[in-house]
Structure 1
Amino acid sequence: MEETVDKIVQWLQQQVQETGVNGLLVGVSGGLDSAVVAHLIKRAVPDHSLGVIMPCKSNPTDINHAQDVSESCEINTVTVDLTETHQVLYNGIQQQVRQKGEWQEANDQLADANLRARLRMSTLYTLATNYNYLVVGTDNAAEWYTGYFTKYGDGGVDILPIVEFTKQEVREMASYLGVPEQIIDKKPSADLWEGQTDEAEMGTTYDIIDAYLQGQEIPEADKETIEKLHKRTEHKRNGAKHFVIKG
């Protein structure tokens, strides 16, 4: 694990050097993946790393955990509360569409959640411009393969240091780095709505996805779920399609 962490840190330092930026920043949610990335960027650029805490109708426990992460790796932090911004923007959008009689109630929860993720992305890039930093993503291998991230939200980043690692490997990395135990042991959640958990939303577990990615046998129902998620979210990994004039 020491060798793995050293390689990631060196890679992060290389990205800073190659792009000519001053440092690195990450959104710290209080979850496992962002905690690991916060520790990694602090090691890579100790004096030019930033953790950004962005509550948005968030569970107070997650905010406390985000602060615990910041203290555990002694990273410089800034907190930007997006609750009011989200409410004003979302209510404004709703009002305009409702007047036309075209608001889709069935999509309300997802639209609300995705706007939170995209406001956080915008906040990170505003800060990145100010500091001349790169925005560092937190997706692991399971999330990347299944497309469990918001397009142009938490998927809108410059670099992805842990995207090749399974959730279990990230958990082991967290223990090595000194991430607080209460964060390592908590149920994964993107804090999209009250009571939301990653595994309930995906319809399978990280352990099963990890096993699938490692070529192990898993129940057929889970295999179908994972492959369906992968196919449905291909557009997230490939970016926008563009028209090509055939000569």
Structure 2
Amino acid sequence: MQQNSTINTEKVNEHIVNWLKTYAEKARVNGFIIGISGGIDSALTSTLCAQTGLHTLCVEMPIHQAESHVSRAQEHIAQLKKRFPNVFETRVDLTPVFESLKNEIPSTDDQKKLELSLANTRSRLRMTTLYYLAGINGLLVAGTGNKVEDFGVGFFTKYGDGGVDVSPIADLLKTDVKALAAYLNVPQSILNAKPTDGLFGDDRSDEDQLGASYPELEWAMEQLNSGKKAEDFEGRQREVFEIYKRLNTVNQHKMNPIPVCLIPENYK
């Protein structure tokens, strides 16, 4: 189930950068803001934004963050600032805000629900911070979700990292992201790191949470889109297909527009 990227990295890079620049100019904004996590998606997105020549603000927002995530984020930002004079950085430590909020809201004995709700709360605090900084600097919030996360398994927080103005890499599979990031000289430490959302304050990976790797999920996405069913596979392939199908189904509420209750005309 190993997937290999087939994109033309040079042309894709040029296309995304031009798209970003054109969109920003039409929106009459100064540039972009990106939350930097130490992961490959945010590293790639910030590098693409930096190439527009427009103001690019990289923001660290630690909340009990694992040291490995912090060091990778700082390495990437330092490298990007050396390469592009239009790149700036700021750091907002959200740990005290997160702890203060935890002390004020009700808890629950259901540890699984509590842990997930707090993880999503971290993401939403970061979204709020990005939009505050975007507002005072005249910037667009650039999303860092890839195609499998945004349109396959819905692996993002609704109104958290899913709350963005533009999604420059949302049509790229994770293997494409890695290929383009390597082409753009993203630090090797980030290229080699296991993908993680960094929302739990530890080193658990995306694969730990999802039950399958991104290459496996990309394979399953392709199979489902071609009309295949679980019974067409056996062993690990069937297991991965069922994982993908389940996540794709339960997370449709994230991927579809918000339902609107339409009032019949004769009621108005």
CA distance in 1, matches of 2:136, 2:72: 26
CA distance in 1, matches of 2:183, 2:258: 38
CA distance in 1, matches of 2:177, 2:147: 10
CA distance in 1, matches of 2:257, 2:222: 26
Deviations 1:88-147 (A, max 9, x none): 001210xxx35xxx6643311111111100000000000000111100000011111100
Indicate which of 179, 201, 213 corresponds to 2:186.
179
Amino acid at match of 2:246: K
Contact 2:32-2:54 within 8 A present in 1 as well:
no
Contact 2:221-2:244 within 8 A present in 1 as well:
no
Query: 5+ unaligned residues in a row in structure 1: which ranges?
Result: none
CA distance in 1, matches of 2:104, 2:70: 27
TM-score by length of 1: 0.93
The match for 2:145 is 139
What is the DSSP-based 3-state SS (H/G/I as helix, E as strand, rest coil) of the residue aligned with 2:89?
strand
What is the DSSP-based 3-state SS (H/G/I as helix, E as strand, rest coil) of the residue aligned with 1:78?
strand
Displacement after TM superposition at 1:224 (Å): 1.1
The match for 1:241 is 259
CA distance in 2, matches of 1:159, 1:174: 19
CA distance in 2, matches of 1:176, 1:205: 22
Deviations 1:59-100 (A, max 9, x none): 12211111111122213110000001000001210xxx35xx
The change in CA–CA distance for 1:105 and 1:211 in structure 2 (over 3 A counts) is closer
How is 1:197-212 mapped onto 2 (pairs within 5 angstroms)?
Answer: 197-212=205-220
What is the DSSP-based 3-state SS (H/G/I as helix, E as strand, rest coil) of the residue aligned with 1:36?
helix
The match for 2:4 is none
CA distance in 2, matches of 1:171, 1:221: 25
- Whether 1:8 and 2:8 are equivalent positions in the alignment is no
Displacement after TM superposition at 1:47 (Å): 4.4
- Whether 1:231 and 2:249 are equivalent positions in the alignment is yes
TM-score by length of 2: 0.86
Aligned residues: 240
Contact 1:121-1:156 within 8 A present in 2 as well:
yes
CA distance in 2, matches of 1:9, 1:47: 11
The match for 2:229 is none
Query: 5+ unaligned residues in a row in structure 2: which ranges?
Result: 1-8, 82-86, 227-232
